[in-house]
Amino acid sequence: MKKILAFILASFLLVSLCACGDKGDDTSSETLISVGKTEQVEVKAAENVFPENTVVEIKTIKEGDDFKKVDTALKEVATKFEVYDITAKSENVAVQPNGTVKATFDVPENFDIDKAAVVYVSDDGKVESLPCTIDKDQKTVTAQLSHFSFYAVIEKIEADVQSTVKEESSSNAVSETEKPTESSKPAQNDKIESNKAPVVTLPVVSSEPAHTHTFSEATCTTAKKCACGVTEGKALGHSYIDDKCQRCGAIDSTYKALLSGHWTVEAVSDNTLYDYSFVFSGQEPFCSIGVGDNIKTLPEEFQNEILNNPADYADSIHKFGNETYYVGQGGGDGITFEVDKNIVKITIGSSATITIERTAGDKYTVISSSGDTALKPGAVLTWEKAEIAED
């Protein structure tokens, strides 16, 4: 009897594995788009299931440790199988679907399509059957996946439970001397069907406690995720200030330089003040440069003139640090510039180049310079909105 029950239990698990229906069982009306496809597998999902720029990769596994793990797990379940590793990445970060996806697998030519099924094989070698739909005309089997991992298309093993039970029953037939007495015979209205296998109801017994999901925190590109692969909610999305995400530091590829109005910056070299103004508006961008002397170096009579008549010299007096400069000369030159997102390379005439990077809001910082210029790396330019009259 123990042998019979053990065989029935094994057969019960095999028969219940991936109860697939014929074509037509999938009643989903949601519009799906293909997110990954090979010659053997196609994965489709709704538009909101993955973060933007997600790439789904499908690999056929034929060898290695992962193949050996799956082969061991399926020995008692399948006569044949093809195993696939399905993964997804967004901005080089692994992600899981936020909902279910539809995976359609080709059934290999040497498989009995009536025995085809789809199973998930976990990292610890456990096999989980998936409800699926068989299309005999297209020779495919389709299943709904809630997360990406190792999946296999299998040809199920079938066991003849009824004939085995009958054989055991005949070998243990009751002898003539062991026939029940008249008093032990069943009542007349009881039905006896000696030629049918007994119906055995087997309880589902698990030696492990039910799994409780423990989710990691959501990130800009991934939803909350349990170690088992199940996800919850949605990715947070990036929170950009200027071109940089304040959560993860990712750079916004759509960010552009601010080129309107004009940019001003002052720098001191050899006790001389240089007041730069870069004008990007108008038909001909240009740079004006005011040159100023430290007021302490001017003749004493001129110093007194400036100090006694501050209103007359207001536009020419510049404070820089703790020093005061009189800007009484200068010039200008045309500029050309190249823009790469938030970096601008400026060429002043033919004598100098300055590369600036937008660092925050209306601020640009010099990151390199060459030629005849007082601007050095670290100098900060400030943008001012201005309407420049066209010539």
Residue range 42-52, pLDDT digits in tens: 999 988 888 88
Q: How confident is the model at residue 131 (pLDDT cuts 50, 70, 90)?
A: very high
Mean pLDDT over 234-242 rounds to: 80
Q: Which pLDDT score, from 0 to 100, does residue 209 have?
A: 57
Rounded CA gap, 358 and 365, in Å?
Answer: 6
What's the confidence (pLDDT) of residue 154?
95
Per-residue H/E/C for the chain: CHHHHHHHHHHHHHHHCCCEEECCCCCCCCCCEEEEECCCEEEEECCCCCCCCEEEEEEEECCHHHHHHHHHHCCCCEEEEEEEEEEEEECCEECCCCCCEEEEEECCCCCCHHHEEEEEECCCCCEEECCEEEECCCCEEEEEECCCCEEEEEEECCCCHHHHHHHHHHHCCCCHHHCCCHHHCCCCCCCCCCCCCCCCCCCCCCCCCCCCCCECCCCCCCCEEECCCCEECCCCCCCEECCEECCCCCECCCCCCCCCCEEEEEEEECCEEEEEEEECCCCCCEEEEEEEEEHHHCCHHHHHHHHHCCCCCCCCEEEECCEEEEEEEEEEEEEEEEEECCEEEEEECCCEEEEEEEEECCEEEEEEEEECCCCCCCCEEEEECCCCCCC
- Residue 19 — pLDDT band, cuts 50, 70, 90? low
In this model, does residue 125 exceed pLDDT 70?
A: yes
Q: What is the pLDDT of residue 4?
A: 43
pLDDT of residue 14: 45
Query: Maximum distance among all alpha carbons in the chain?
Result: 144
**Residue whose structure tokens are 């789809």:** 118
Of 100, 51, 381, the C-alpha closest to 248 is: 51
Q: What is the CATH number of domain 2-156?
A: 2.60.40
Percentage of residues in the chain with pLDDT exceeding 90?
22
Pairwise CA distance, residues 275 & 291, whole Å: 6
pLDDT tens, 308-323? 888 888 888 888 888 8
Would you state the torsion angle of the CA atoms of residues 72, 73, 75, 80, taken in this order, to the nearest 10 degrees?
Answer: -100
Q: What pLDDT band is residue 236 in, cutting at 50, 70 and 90? A: confident
Q: Where are the domains of the chain?
A: 2-156, 262-384
Instruction: Please check whether residue 349 is in contact with residue 289, taking contact to mean a CB–CB distance below 8 angstroms.
Output: no
Q: Which of the two residues, 22 and 151, has the higher pLDDT score? A: 151
Which of these ranges, 18-32, 48-62, 226-240, has the smallest mean pLDDT? 18-32
Quote the pLDDT of residue 23: 56
Q: Above 90 in pLDDT, residue 107? A: yes
pLDDT class for 30, splitting at 50, 70, 90?
low
Could you tell me if 166 and 173 are in contact, meaning their C-beta atoms sit under 8 angstroms apart? no
Q: Over the stretch 208-232, which tens digit does the pLDDT of each residue have? A: 556 687 888 889 988 888 878 888 8
Greatest mean pLDDT among 31-45, 233-247, 340-354: 31-45
Question: Tokens at residue 331, please?
Answer: 């010039």
Average pLDDT, the chain: 77
Q: Which of 11-20, 41-50, 90-99, 120-129 has the lowest mean pLDDT?
A: 11-20
Check whether 1 has a pLDDT greater than 60. Answer: no
